[in-house]
Amino acid sequence: MIEAWLFDLDGTLVDTAPDLAAAANALRVAQGLAPLPLDHYRAHASSGARGLIGRALGVGPDDAAFEPLRQTFLAHYAAHIADHSQVFEGLDTALRWLEARGIPWGVVTNKPRRYTEPLMAALQLSARATVVVSADEVPLAKPAPDALIEACRRAGLAQQRCAYVGDDLRDIDAGRAAGMRTVTAEWGYLGTTRPEAWQADDRCATPAELLDLMHPLSTQG
């Protein structure tokens, strides 16, 4: 029986792509370039500043211009972290289903804590989550299992009785390494690899499918 559900943040629990894309487009506008459509960025929204700056300007970490661009990107994002970000449609229903039954849920993300906390607060999720762990609170980020193990330690959960839901191969690898049931959130960003190759225990195309999965896994009888 699954006694707790843990979620990746960007692209799984919350659609943060609009605000991340806006920060990337701000870099383009500052250089006299036209903004690019959201779809240009969406698949890379879980790739952090490196991936988004690359998509916006074709500049990588080895370029001398990268670090100043990264700082500008992060400052813009921090100032507009929840302008358009929102919980994916249908997921709040799943969260409320868990809450109504006293089943803990939490967030484990590669996002640094200085962005995780204000985003969670702005979306009124902080008080609802049993546990929240960001990448900079543990030695190794996903795909290492450190953050998931830490989440279980803080919340007093047994790893093998938890499920981890994510939209990236790193999430599935981390969940598997932590001994958890893994679920691919196919409504998310997914990156550039094929999710059917990730070998997650379950794949859900929509939050409604996830809720249908929760019923037999987290209820007796």
List CB contacts of 35: < 8 A, sequence separation 6 or more: 25, 28, 29
List CB contacts of 102: < 8 A, sequence separation 6 or more: none
The residue count of the chain comes to: 221
Tell me, yes or no, if 83 is annotated catalytic: no
Query: H-type helices in 31-159, by residue range?
Result: 38-42, 48-57, 66-79, 91-100, 113-122, 146-155
The pair phi, psi for residue 206, each rounded to 5°, is: -140, 160
Which token pair is 155? 């919340």
Tell me, yes or no, if 136 is annotated catalytic: no
Active site residues: 8, 10
